[in-house]
Chain A
Amino acid sequence: MLCSCPECAGKWKVGSLEKGEIVVCPECGVELEVTSVEPLSLELAPEEEEDWGE
């Protein structure tokens, strides 16, 4: 599978991916979520935020 980073347009190949998997772009280091496998779609992964509790 050929991945394309929506942030930096970097491209790289992987063997297989699953929907919901988090991958890291080897070019810019951003975390991406596999939102669809066929066709392959990568979007920015859920943001990490800090919160109070428990």
Chain B
Amino acid sequence: MLSFPRMDDEVKLLYDLVEQPSFSGEEAKVSGLLVRILTKYGWSVRSDSVGNVIAEKGQSGPLLLFLGHIDTVPGWLGVKVENGELHGRGSVDAKGPLAAFVAGVARAEATLDGRHESRGLPARIVLVGAVGEEQDSRGAKAIVNTFRPDYCVVGEPSGWEGITLGYKGFARASVRVEFPSFHGSGRYATATESVVSVWNSISTRTDNASSFQSLTASLESVSTERNGLSDEASARIVFRLPPWASAEGIASLLSEAVELARAGTKPWPENAKVTVCLDNSVPAYVAPKNNLLIRSFISAIRELGGTPRFKRKTGTSDMNVVAPVWNCPILAYGPGDSSLDHTSQERISLEEYSLAIEVWHRVLTALPW
């Protein structure tokens, strides 16, 4: 039987995970660390072929799958605890939510083991520590056809009082223009001018303000090359997709933008070669909010004196990958202020971390599985 973990143990769990750098594509060391931690906490643990950590508890009952991620964006920050906050890359996105779940399960087991009629956890629980969430969600894509959970919680920062119901979608595209080389004093647009013109057309056909219902585009990079024989330019563009937008719609928008640019004031050479690629995309997802899982989180947050809030996020997460396939009650939950995601100020309040652990404790012990 597990002893009731002291706050020190719970903070150490988070500290140890944050202290181990794990930029996307370099998750092997944190994967090994998480395997050791989870084994100590009594989980059956393995790694899969892409490097995901997969841990299981419980023998029978409905399957609750917690989908966290162990990678972070780049930019090492160092780790310190100061004024009740733990500073470090990944403290919010998303080692805080993952550690809070592990500690919450331990608290729930301690409570259930202490009950006279205890039969242990009333459900099967699978924890996935996924790789690659900050890049191409390759970890989530690798397990989406492996499990069919009855309930899923994605481990992302929502704030301890927040319940995230949805994320915008995402698409990355590239536009490449190749012209035969000609003198710059001629009548034709250069390849660079043409790519800029395509971007301007996209920009005027998308929204400037970022909201959940807006279609936004950002110019990620532009590169050019002239070698005396050809004049080439390419642009990489990122779209944030609202629920009403689709990959097909983005493909049409790109084609129209190219034609608008081609019909602009400065002509393109007739043998211009234009290549448009939609490299990867995932649609937006918004979860239903009337189910047992959501109700359990609302009740737990209220019991602790909090005010539950539903959130829709303008970013994208592994929820976008798994939710349309699993089609089960799903939400994203975890401590942390997501405005600190991907910043040099990333840090998490340890009080909030502990409250999120207690929310998990109450959800897991109160759910009428």
In the bound complex, residues from chain A placing their C-beta under 8 Å from that of B294 are 20, 22
Contact of B295 among A18, A50, A53, A54 (CB under 8 A): A18
In the bound complex, residues from chain B placing their C-beta under 8 Å from that of A48 are 165, 309-312
Q: Does B316 contact A (CB under 8 A)?
A: yes
In the bound complex, residues from chain B placing their C-beta under 8 Å from that of A20 are 294-296, 298-299
**Cβ-defined contact, B341 with A46, below 8 A:** no
Within 8 A of A (CB), among B135-151: none
**Cβ-defined contact, A46 with B307, below 8 A:** yes
Q: Does B352 contact A (CB under 8 A)?
A: no
Within 8 A of B (CB), among A8-54: 18-22, 33, 35, 46-54
Assign chain A's interface to a size class: 10 to 19
In the bound complex, residues from chain B placing their C-beta under 8 Å from that of A54 are 93-94, 133, 156-157, 167, 313, 315-317, 338, 341
**Cβ-defined contact, A52 with B308, below 8 A:** no
The 10 A-B residue pairs with the shortest CB-CB distance in the complex, in nearest-first order: A20-B295, A53-B338, A46-B308, A48-B310, A53-B341, A54-B317, A53-B315, A51-B311, A54-B315, A20-B298
Contact of A52 among B94, B295, B338 (CB under 8 A): B338
- Taking the closest CB of chain A, its distance from the CB of B356, in whole angstroms, is 16
24 pairs from A and B in contact (CB 8 Å cutoff): A19-B299, A20-B298, A20-B299, A22-B289, A22-B294, A46-B309, A49-B309, A49-B310, A50-B212, A50-B313, A51-B162, A51-B312, A51-B314, A51-B338, A51-B339, A52-B314, A53-B93, A53-B156, A53-B157, A53-B338, A53-B341, A54-B94, A54-B167, A54-B341
Report the separation of the CA atoms of residues A51 and B339 in the bound assembly, to the nearest whole angstrom: 8
Q: Does B211 contact A (CB under 8 A)?
A: yes
B residues with a Cβ closer than 8 A to A are 93-94, 133, 156-158, 162-165, 167, 211-212, 289-290, 294-296, 298-299, 302, 307-317, 338-339, 341
In the bound complex, residues from chain B placing their C-beta under 8 Å from that of A46 are 163, 298, 307-310
In the bound complex, residues from chain A placing their C-beta under 8 Å from that of B167 are 54
In the bound complex, residues from chain B placing their C-beta under 8 Å from that of A53 are 93, 156-157, 313-315, 338-339, 341
**Known interface pairs A51-B164, A54-B133; 18 further A-B residue pairs with C-beta atoms within 8 A, sorted by A's residue number:** A19-B299, A21-B295, A46-B163, A46-B307, A48-B311, A50-B311, A50-B314, A51-B158, A51-B339, A52-B314, A52-B338, A52-B339, A53-B313, A53-B314, A53-B339, A54-B156, A54-B157, A54-B316
In the bound complex, residues from chain B placing their C-beta under 8 Å from that of A18 are 295
Report the separation of the CA atoms of residues A42 and B165 in the bound assembly, to the nearest whole angstrom: 22
Report the separation of the CA atoms of residues A21 and B289 in the bound assembly, to the nearest whole angstrom: 9
Report the separation of the CA atoms of residues A45 and B17 in the bound assembly, to the nearest whole angstrom: 36
- Taking the closest CB of chain A, its distance from the CB of B177, in whole angstroms, is 33
Report the separation of the CA atoms of residues A17 and B96 in the bound assembly, to the nearest whole angstrom: 35
In the bound complex, residues from chain B placing their C-beta under 8 Å from that of A50 are 211-212, 311-314
